[in-house]
Amino acid sequence: MIWNEKYECMGREELEKLQLERLQRVISRVYNILPFYRERFQEKGVSPGDLKSLPDLAEFPFVSKSDLRQGYPFGFFAVPSREILEVHSSSGTTGKPVVDGYTRGDLEIWSEVMARALFCAGATKKDIIHNAYGYGLFTGGLGVHYGARRIGAKIIPVSGGQTRRQVMIMQDFGSTVLTCTPSYALHIAEVAEEMGVDLKSLSLKVGIFGAEAWSENMRREIEPRLGIDAVDIYGLTEVIGPGVAQECLKKKGLHIFEDHFLPEIINPETGEVLPPGEEGELIITTLTREALCLVRYRTGDITSITYEPCACGRTLARISKIKGRTDDMLIIRGVNLFPSQIENVLMRIDETEPHYQLVLERKKGLDELTVEVEARPGIFFDEVRKLEEIEKRIAREIEAELSLRVGVRLVEPRRIERSTGKAKRVIDKRQLK
């Protein structure tokens, strides 16, 4: 099911021609309207006339989240305030949030890319979309809402929370598509089990999960438990919200809607553009946005890109599942790793539940990581020796895969806090002096 064949299945040459035209327009626009970009371009000795081909973009400067914060809240908008019809912002756990503003045209683009995303995941107008992403300043709720409206599906704007009620609604309203974070999907599943409701016997067929990193083995955990196909959706507030990239049912990476969002992958340390297949930081340039125009925005997200055609028929490039954010990367005794890599190992262990957190502490000047993971009910009350054996085995598996020695603590079921949105995976107790 392809929502917009013209753009999603375009030949590479034709697509690149379109991207270049749009890119030249964006570069001139930001240069003429926003002093920030003009100054940055001048510092780097480039001007709009230098952009003659797509690879020329590599000469242009990057924009970062902290740059955007300096313009907080509306300083980066390239249109007069009266043209902004809606604003959203990120949760902003550290410092000021970043704010996105949407013109009528931007809302049109958002509906379009979200319609594509839903179709890409197999949802159609026949579906009943149970939207448990939070409604509000967070883009998840309204993003899915606009896409559902565009494809003509029935939308249940349930938002996050009140999990028992979510299960009841799924049962009574016959939800066929579930949209929420992957961690919340698991929590819904566990509450359903407690209520004696078998989600597998309901009408659910697909889950569209994103807004946080989740591993391939997490998918293997979720799918049989809910009796669905679980696919990944990616996006970020600054760029538009959800709907930047979406996995199809082939589950071989996320199609990036390249006619609107131009991707590059760079080495986060040197800024050099990397070839397809190599892992690095995703950079996005918005090609059609009106209010917030980003040129070479550093998403901080680690992935790789492929231009190989997909069996689904789309010619759009695909990014691999996001491994994590550069800011969430842990550096422990010289080893770099992302929480999702530990998750991938944990999900293979039969005796544990898929709920975990990583506790970072500093002991005698050295950083130590303890993985706290819930034991399956029943196991936790086994003899201590047996629990210790399981802990040791998990530590060995993590060391074999990630070359890092960690502590492992099995905790009782339900000990780790559940989230209705993005899960908190890392508890940093280091007192940095």
Kindly list the residues in this chain that would bind ligand DLL in the complex (CB under 6 A): 90-91, 133, 139-140, 210-213, 232-237, 241-242, 299, 301, 322, 325
Name residue, tokens 């930001």.
30
Integer angstrom CA distances of residue 128 from 121, 122, 204, 233, 421: 14, 12, 9, 18, 21
Closer to ligand DLL by Cβ: residue 235 or 280? 235
Integer angstrom CA distances of residue 148 from 82, 125, 130, 201: 27, 8, 10, 24
Q: Which of 141, 140, 124, 195 is nearest to 163 (CA)?
A: 195
Residue 298's DSSP bridge partners are: 283
Q: How far apart are the first and last CA of the chain?
A: 55
Contacts of 275 (CB under 8 A, 6+ apart): none
Closer to ligand DLL by Cβ: residue 32 or 91? 91
Q: Which of 138, 29, 130 is nearest to 78 (CA)?
A: 29
Pairing label, strands 330-332, 305-306: unpaired
Distance between CA 425 and CA 116 in Å, rounded?
31
Residue 88's DSSP bridge partners are: 100
Closer to ligand DLL by Cβ: residue 325 or 409? 325
In angstroms, what is the minimal distance from the CB of 133 to ligand DLL?
A: 5
Pairing label, strands 297-303, 324-325: antiparallel
Closer to ligand DLL by Cβ: residue 102 or 133? 133
In angstroms, what is the minimal distance from the CB of 27 to ligand DLL?
A: 23
Residue whose CB is nearest to ligand DLL in the complex, by number = 210
Closer to ligand DLL by Cβ: residue 221 or 391? 221
Q: For residue 232, what are its two tokens?
A: 């990944």
Question: How many secondary structure helices (H) and strands (E) does the chain include?
Answer: 11, 21
In angstroms, what is the minimal distance from the CB of 71 to ligand DLL?
A: 16
Closer to ligand DLL by Cβ: residue 10 or 145? 145
Closer to ligand DLL by Cβ: residue 176 or 299? 299
Pairing label, strands 154-156, 99-102: unpaired
CA angle 168, 173, 179 (to 5 degrees): 80
Q: Three-state DSSP class for 297? A: strand
In angstroms, what is the minimal distance from the CB of 373 to ligand DLL?
A: 20
Closer to ligand DLL by Cβ: residue 47 or 217? 217
In angstroms, what is the minimal distance from the CB of 239 to ligand DLL?
A: 9
Name residue, tokens 């704007």.
157
In angstroms, what is the minimal distance from the CB of 141 to ligand DLL?
A: 8
Closer to ligand DLL by Cβ: residue 127 or 351? 127
In angstroms, what is the minimal distance from the CB of 43 to ligand DLL?
A: 26
Q: How many other CB atoms sit within 10 Å of the CB of residue 406?
A: 19
Closer to ligand DLL by Cβ: residue 151 or 211? 211
Q: What burial letters (b/e) apply to 224-251, b meaning 16+ CB within 10 Å?
A: ebbebbbbbbbbbbbbbbbbbbbbbeee
